[in-house]
Chains A and B, each alone.
Chain A
């Protein structure tokens, strides 16, 4: 009974309220006391003030192996780590290749079948050989794969999975070592590209060009069969006819025929060096079972090294202490100096100590954190567009709000093309049937191309962040033509100094000529129904779908949108069962060939059994012939003329109803400097610099916690307790009154 009594007493004496209030005040002062850091800082307190850049990734990288990775999301990481022979100049435009780990650009020698040197244009040309000379003294990042004990033997070499049990991540390996980068490492990586078990996405493509690659693949396959699963196969022991090493700093690669685009591939991480020790290390028993593989823990000689890889949470790159002497470029294109891009000229890079990438699945929280100063750079999503920028007569500029924050805007060139395509094998819209039928179907496609107002779509869904494409080739690539000459004459007219979409009546006329007056089959009267195949993953696309339906309704064509999951969609594409679909292409390298091959007949999805890039299955003999000619040419007026002829063919045939080139804008908080968007190269992090102090100050001022709502809630709760206590007392004292 004692306990109850005391409980009641406390209530009665109203002491509890005093205590509650006192506790509340205490907590609040305690919270307000930790002034050092804002409450909503998503980064650890220990890192504050560091020379660290913060970014995010939305999809966890699937592959970090330079032989396997083929997406820009992954290139953001590994291109800072791996050092291919060539690189792009950071500031100069148009894009220019420069030697990276080489002493000079590779020397190309053309030979005939017998090995005699011939000129570049000679008809008997059979091989082109690239000779490379490596800089001396380049060293790999510290890594346990190189660690040796006092006898010079490798420290971490396990015979049995049980020995690896103590190691859960790469960080558990305490010792590390390094060694010099040698010519053999480049050849070793080339061999890895050819190894079928590594599933390199470029193996098929490069095998067409590199001498001896297919034979090497076959030999490796055979060697793998005789080895137990998962055991390391020493690729150094298998000869590769097209790749020769003359000494530690010199090697050569021989191509069949001529392939001018090969230099671009040499700037890709596919050709970055990988030491054999890495493969030997990661193939030890027991490691693959713990996600410790080269695919997750890269080992390179580049400016940064990956010190933490938790794709569920954070990926950390740190400065590579062994990085070679590499300097910020001293010259750029005109205007770079005014923009401060040459302020750090000649400084040794990388300028940052660390780069932290956090997992951010959603664009919304990312944008909020950017505004709070917790991320340094951000793209602009359609939701935040009007908040971030305004569009005036002189183009895109920052909004007042952003300018007040000191944010800078950077326009990024995206070398890419997105398109709405017809399947050219389709019986209704494709290029099939008799000559007259094909003519009619072409008119149908042209009519749709006129009606489909790409510009409106861009302004509704992308805030105008893109330009309507006249041809597959985006601006910034040789072959692109702006202005009057460049327009697609089947869809646009040149009026008042700009391209005007042809009137709808023109489309209706074409539609009637195609056999569908007013959207009805001239013979049967049936309404014309077209199918658009899309992927529905994630949902929430009804607005876009309604808009599409509206476009076709302009011509009284009924659009039927068939959404499926991604797997099914790919299946449909590879069997040629789609009718219309949307697709896109981002450049591998800045060359027209990389876009025009999207329509090259032999690349057709169906013809090639699903592996080709020509998803519309467009196949025009004239176009194909010109493509084969153009492919081997260096950029020149002759090449331009051929490209123009090819584009004219495509524009007439209209295999794509519509296309657009995306624009992308990057916002930098005011403490970020040296950023210049590069359409191709991703290995730019080493040039970026930040001012940590300015950032810390801004974070403090932008994130003052607002406390009154907390106080309000506390006050409300306190208020509620008053009538509660009173009611309780009344209840307690209720008496049954009897007479």
Chain B
């Protein structure tokens, strides 16, 4: 197992290099360091030597991929790409283009992101499981059909509308929660209730439908039929047999997103003014802060790869027949 994990981590290196190459290529095709400097230095009275100074302070005064001018073996190493991505591999994100230390910002903004994403994730799964179990209990009835159509309808609404409606009614009209914002500590609960509810509701449609099929699959299996034939009550069948066995595919399918919860939700965080990593990323896109975008891409890729590894591991845990090799 350990050997497997280590090997997978080694496989991750070429992938991360590929990710970096791609982001660098994309970004520097768009922006020259001169343009970045000009944006960061502001509108009024900018001189050419200020731009040079900025570039050398930020390390953008080198060639991008190939340093042909360097004779002392720095052809590949004395370049922006090498210097910036090598640091990423040890999680040294450096400074953002506007001068903040990115690592510190990430450490700080990680918590609000988690405080929002984790409850949404857990409550979402719980609610979806409860709903789908309820539907499975009444399978092949009018209630089942109605519930399914309801789910499809919920799925067909853009998440933005849920946010509009939630903010309008809960915050503006009924004064139940603050309309947006965030405070650390216990106070955070006040601010998180609404986004979590909205996050859960917008996920109900898809989630319930998926889980229902998984549970139904389980319900059609022979051992369930046998149990029912024995006269075990419907509830008992549901909770003793269908639920535990149906949970396995559900859990293994959600494991992959768990690490990515760190990255936060772009939409929720920016609508509700939660200072997490999602809104951090969004602001960086708007400001074209390449250093931040590059770091977030890298972080996202790392988390995704960890998610993949966790998924593989979770398979072996739930099903001893699967061997990692």
Contacts and interface: CB of A to CB of B under 8 A. Distances in A.
Are A and B a genuine interacting pair, yes or no?
A: yes
18 contacts: A7-B239, A8-B236, A40-B179, A41-B178, A42-B180, A204-B47, A204-B50, A358-B181, A359-B275, A361-B273, A362-B180, A365-B273, A368-B179, A570-B35, A571-B35, A704-B175, A728-B138, A731-B138
Interface stretch (A132-140, A231-239, A289-297, A326-334): A289-297
B286 A201 contact: no
A705 to B, nearest CB: 5
Contacts of A1: 236
Contact of B288 (A8, A196, A566): A566
Contacts of A568: 35
A611 B48 contact: yes
Nearest to B190: A39
A541 interface: no
Interface stretch (B63-71, B97-105, B154-162, B310-318): B97-105
B19 to A, nearest CB: 23
Given A289-B101, A567-B35, 7 more contacts: A40-B178, A70-B44, A567-B38, A568-B35, A611-B48, A704-B175, A731-B234
A641 interface: no
Size band of the B side of the interface?
35 or more
Nearest to A374: B178
A321 interface: no
Given A368-B172, A566-B288, A571-B35, A201 B41 contact: yes
Contacts of A290: 101, 104
Interface in B29-68: 30-31, 35-36, 38-42, 44-50, 53-54, 57
B46 A538 contact: no
A128 to B, nearest CB: 22
A567 B109 contact: no
B120 to A, nearest CB: 19
Given A4-B236, A197-B53, A724-B134, A705 B176 contact: yes
Contacts of B286: 537-538
Contacts of B273: 359-362, 365
Interface string A1-25: 1011001100100000000000000
A288 B100 CA distance: 9
Contacts of A571: 35, 38
Contact of B235 (A7, A71, A311): A7
Contacts of A3: 236
Interface in B175-233: 175-184, 187, 190-191, 232-233
A201 B175 contact: no
Contact of A202 (B45, B98, B233): B45
A71 B98 CA distance: 14
Nearest to B280: A312
Interface string B82-114: 000000000000000011110011001100000
Contact of A295 (B99, B182, B236): B99
A45 B177 CA distance: 14
Interface in A692-706: 703-706
Interface of A: 1, 3-4, 7-8, 11, 38-45, 62-63, 70-71, 168, 196-197, 199, 201-205, 288-291, 295-296, 310-313, 358-362, 365, 368-369, 372, 374, 537-538, 565-568, 570-571, 574, 609-611, 613, 703-706, 709-710, 724, 727-728, 731-732
Contacts of B275: 312-313, 359
Rank and list the top 8 A-B pairs by shortest CB-CB distance, nearest first.
A4-B236, A312-B275, A706-B174, A365-B180, A42-B178, A567-B35, A42-B181, A365-B179
Contacts of A368: 171-172, 179
A262 B35 CA distance: 31
A732 B234 contact: yes
Contacts of B4: none
B181 A201 contact: no
A201 B44 contact: yes
A728 B35 contact: no
A206 B314 CA distance: 65
A342 B234 CA distance: 79
B141 A570 contact: no
B234 A201 contact: no
Contacts of A709: 169, 174
Contacts of B169: 709
Nearest to A371: B172
B132 interface: no
A7 B234 CA distance: 11
B279 interface: yes
A429 to B, nearest CB: 23
B270 interface: yes
B179 A369 contact: yes
B49 to A, nearest CB: 7
B31 A567 contact: yes
A8 B173 CA distance: 41
Nearest to A311: B100
B143 interface: yes
Interface string B272-284: 0101000110000
Contacts of B323: none
A672 to B, nearest CB: 21
Given A4-B239, A62-B99, A201-B46, A40 B175 contact: yes
B45 A613 contact: yes
Nearest to B35: A567
A688 to B, nearest CB: 23
Nearest to B103: A289
A565 B48 contact: no
A368 B271 CA distance: 14
Nearest to A723: B143
B171 A197 contact: no
Given A8-B233, A290-B104, A40 B288 contact: no
Contact of B279 (A4, A361, A705): A361
B87 to A, nearest CB: 12
A43 B185 CA distance: 12
B178 A369 contact: yes
